[in-house]
Amino acid sequence: MEMDCGDPGSCAEMSREQAETSTRPPSETPTEVCADLPELLDSGSDGVEGVVNATCTDQEASQPDAAIEDKEAEEEDEEEEEDLFEGAFWDEERSPSAPSQFRSARWPSPEIPSDSWANSPIRSEDQTCQTSQTEVPAERRRKGGQVLFNSSHSDYEVVAQAAAERGWRVVKCEEKAAVCNIHWIDDANIGDWIRKVEPWMRINHFPGMNNALARKTRLARNLARVQRIFPSAYRFVPPTWVIPDDFPDLEKRFGDAESKVFYIVKPDHLCQGRGIFLTTELERLRQASDDSRKKNEATVVQRYLSRPMLIEGLKFDLRLYFLIAAKKASGESGLDLRCFLFRDGLVRLCTTPYQPPTAETRNEKCMHLTNYAVNKNSENFQQNDGEDDGAGSKRSLRWFMSYIGETFGEKERRKLWLKLMGLCMKTILMVKPTLETEYDGAFPRDLTGGQMGCRCFELLGIDVMLDAKMKPYLIEVNHLPSFTCDSPLDEDIKQRLVQQTLDLTCGSLSGKDKKMYEQLVRERREAGQGASEAPRTTWEVDTSMLDLPVYKDFERAWPPPEGASKLKEQLLTIESRVREIFKPLHLSKKRDNAQDEKPSEKPPRPPVRGSAASATGARRAAPSPRSSKRSRSAPGPPRCAFILPPIMRKISPTGHSGDAPPAAAKNRSSSARPTRACLPLKNVQLLI
């Protein structure tokens, strides 16, 4: 929804519902945004240096699954999973070596009812989850000036309402949003706004996340690349091909013209279930490949999971919310990531009872596709009224985990939760070097050396599907998850999600952060690069919240939890190996430059016409710069029992060598290989 900014008062006026729900006096209610913005900036936000107009950019074979599978591979997977999650069901009484701030926050605060913890996915009857009720008081939020929140590219009321309830001023006018402290972007203009984020600002997207994970083809390519290194750890993705590039390999899987395995075809540039179809025909896949080549667009083909887990006879998927943040950008050591998995989410059910796909039922979208945009228009769709989060066509993840515990046992519930956490974390770790490289090149330079902290965070919507054995499979990653509240269930889940996300990532911001940044820059310049230790900023003190193992409904997934030793070891191995192989290019250049301390010497000139002794002296005069660094295992120069005479070439009067005519020498490029010369040595022809 676009607003006319010609009238500042009408452009900046907030909705009546947000003003009524605000707990502040009427004088402090941010009902007018753009009208009072210049006065606000003059008093507490360092003024406006200029108005920046943002420009909008346009965005937008395997064996049959139902046939006989390899039982040995299945038993191998089950043994690996048992080993991986052995000892993962840890006691909530953490080890005595845990930090004191974590041990003190073990029990829920009396301010929050204990009922809110009853349905925790990892909580059992005899365990108490760790949490922290650390909140930023309203007085401290406003003591340094009012925080400006840019929602000019977000139409979700739940986002603006969460910012207004914290005492922040919501800015809806794009022309005056460039100076805001926080930028919340929910459309295709992410790249335009990332270039405007100064060190004292925050934005809700990581640079490069869209190209690395959110595109179906890029996700498939990255997964295929890392599967070659960790084949057993990344088995949570069905066999995938990207056509037209992978069509020859896909064609070999068919053999005949038709396969018994169903494949699901997903266009890369479409969403909400558009363009998706099921097929077993090679000709239809060839047609899709040709269409993709003509349109210069890629298409993803996956083996269809024909035996999914069902709820009341209906197919479903899980929408997981995964928060990615960082304590600070630490230069060559990369981003110090902190990742959290939200303990609540959405369970989206189909509206037609499931049957294995056949030629007659493969076009039933409401039977095979779990997209909410597809099923909400069905006559069988049941809206959730909010009284019971386990009823209707859309249910809560908290209810689902309780359902797993009641049906399969507490051990299986906790095991499934750790599998979901591991799936999300492995997906992020495989692109961590890419995120670090994009981060270093996307934002304006931070002259404080990273003291203002990481400038971005990301809230991903990860779609997961379970098979009949409750094994999770990654379907896709959404970097722009929907925050539309169509039901009381949506409103409850997404309100808590956005509010707690802002607590963890932006709770320490104030309107004086720009002045603090300028002061730190002056102190750093005066002290010089060899200063002992810079004073800790308010941001550095408050980011201890990111180290909490549990914050309300968020549970930390990275660094890995202490209790799951096998999972922790696997994630750390993946992180170090991926960083070693796919290290950023600019960091590798820095390491190479640091090793080459001495300047390279010029290679010796070739000997002029003379005797063999002059050539020998030239060879012994100055060794090559690489010769001193050659390892002992590397082969050295050949040892000859005799001294070869120097290479002699006849020089013609025109100045060209006798090996090639002048015309050929003139047309030959400088990068061409030299002409081979044969030296007579008694009866042996020596080729050099």
3-class SS string, 342-362: ECCCEEEECCCCCCCCCCCCC
The pLDDT of residue 80 is 54
Domain residue ranges in the chain? 8-57+147-199, 75-136+207-233+308-524+548-586, 239-304
- Of 472, 475, 473, 491, whose CA–CA distance to 483 is shortest? 491
pLDDT band at 57, cuts 50/70/90? very low
Checking phi first, is residue 534 left (phi over 0); if not, alpha (psi -120 to 50) or beta? beta
Query: What is the tens place of the pLDDT at every residue in 369-381?
Result: 999 999 999 999 9
- C-beta contacts of 649-657 below 8 A and 24+ residues apart: 649/677
- What CATH class is the domain 75-136+207-233+308-524+548-586? alpha beta
Neighbours of 295 (CB within 10 A): 11
CATH topology for the 239-304 domain: Dna Ligase; domain 1 (3.30.1490)
Pairing relationship of beta strands 182-185 and 202-203 according to DSSP bridges? parallel
The structure's pTM equals 0.70
Dihedral, CA atoms, 75, 78, 80, 83, nearest 10 degrees? -130
Read off the tokens for 416.
């499934």
pLDDT band at 49, cuts 50/70/90? very low
Residue 511: pLDDT above 70? yes
The percentage of the chain sitting over the pLDDT mark of 70, rounded to a whole number, equals 60
Mean pLDDT across 333-358: 93
**Residue 99 has what DSSP assignment?**
-
**Residue 114 has what DSSP assignment?**
G
Distance CA 168, CA 158 (A): 14
Q: Among positive and negative, which fits the CA dihedral 351, 352, 356, 358?
A: negative
**Residue 123 has what DSSP assignment?**
-
Ranking 26-40, 279-293, 423-437, 662-676 by mean pLDDT, the lowest is 26-40
Q: State the chain's mean pLDDT as an integer.
A: 73
Read off the tokens for 490.
């949506």
Read off the tokens for 160.
């603006």
Distance CA 62, CA 568 (A): 31
Distance CA 471, CA 454 (A): 35
Distance CA 237, CA 467 (A): 12
Distance CA 309, CA 358 (A): 18
DSSP string, 623-683: --TTGGG--TTS--PPPPSSPPPPP--PBPTTS-BTTS-HHHHHHS-TTSPPPP-EEEETT
Residues 172/3, Cβ–Cβ less than 8 Å:
yes
Most confident range (mean pLDDT) of 138-147, 252-261, 424-433, 538-547 is: 424-433
Residues 492/442, Cβ–Cβ less than 8 Å:
no
Peptide bond into 113 cis (omega under 30): no
Query: What is the tens place of the pLDDT at every residue in 400-409?
Result: 999 999 999 9
Residues 262/254, Cβ–Cβ less than 8 Å:
no
The pLDDT of residue 271 is 82
Q: Which residue has the higher pLDDT, 144 or 11?
A: 144
Mean pLDDT across 575-598: 64
Neighbours of 374 (CB within 10 A): 20
Mean pLDDT across 442-465: 91
Burial class (CB in 10 A: 0-12, 13-18, 19+), 519: middle
Distance CA 279, CA 261 (A): 9
DSSP string, 136-196: --HHHHHTT-PPEEEEEE---HHHHHHHHHTTPEEE--GGG-TT-SEEEE-SS-HHHHHTT
DSSP string, 246-309: THHHHHHHH-SSEEEEEEEEEETT--TTTT-EEEEEHHHHHHHHHHHHHHT--EEEEE---SB-
Ranking 258-267, 462-471, 554-563, 630-639 by mean pLDDT, the lowest is 630-639
Neighbours of 339 (CB within 10 A): 23
Pairing relationship of beta strands 182-185 and 148-153 according to DSSP bridges? parallel
